[in-house]
Amino acid sequence: MKLQNKVVIVTGAGSGNGRAIALRYFEEGATVVVADINESGANETIAMAPAGSKGMVIKVDVTNPADVEKMVSQTVQEFGQLDILVNNAGIVAFTPFLELGVEEWDRVHNVNLKAPFLCSQAAAKEMIKAGRGGRIINITSVEAHRVVSSSGHCQPHYNSSKGGLFMLTKAIALELASHGITVNAVAPGVVETPFTQKGLENPEVKEWVLERVPAGRVGKPADVANAVVFLSYDESEYITGSTLVVDGGWTIH
Strands 55-59 and 84-87: unpaired
Q: For 2-25, give the secondary structure using H, E and C.
A: CCCCCEEEEECCCCHHHHHHHHHH
Nearer to ligand NAD, 90 or 163 (CB): 90
Tally of CB atoms within 10 A around 109: 18
Q: How far is the CB of 234 from ligand NAD (least distance, A)?
A: 25
Nearer to ligand NAD, 134 or 188 (CB): 188
* Binding-site string for ligand NAD from residue 213 to residue 252, where x marks contact by CB under 6 A and - marks none: ----------------------------------------
- The set of residues, in sequence order, having a beta carbon less than 8 Å from that of 106 and lying 6+ positions away, is none
53 binds ligand NAD (CB under 6 A): no
Among residues 25, 158, 233, 238, the one annotated as catalytic is 158
Does the annotation count 158 as an active-site position? yes
Considering only residues 68 to 97 of the shown chain, the ones binding ligand NAD according to CB under 6 A are 88-91
Strand arrangement, sheet containing 7-11: 55-59, 31-36, 7-11, 84-87, 134-139, 181-188, 243-246
116 binds ligand NAD (CB under 6 A): no
Considering only residues 12 to 41 of the shown chain, the ones binding ligand NAD according to CB under 6 A are 12, 14-18, 36-38, 41
Q: How far is the CB of 238 from ligand NAD (least distance, A)?
A: 25
* Binding-site string for ligand NAD from residue 154 to residue 183, where x marks contact by CB under 6 A and - marks none: ------------------------------
Instruction: Give catalytic residue positions.
Output: 158
Residues lying near ligand NAD in the complex (CB under 6 A): 11-12, 14-18, 36-38, 41, 60-63, 88-91, 111, 139, 141, 188, 190-191, 193-196
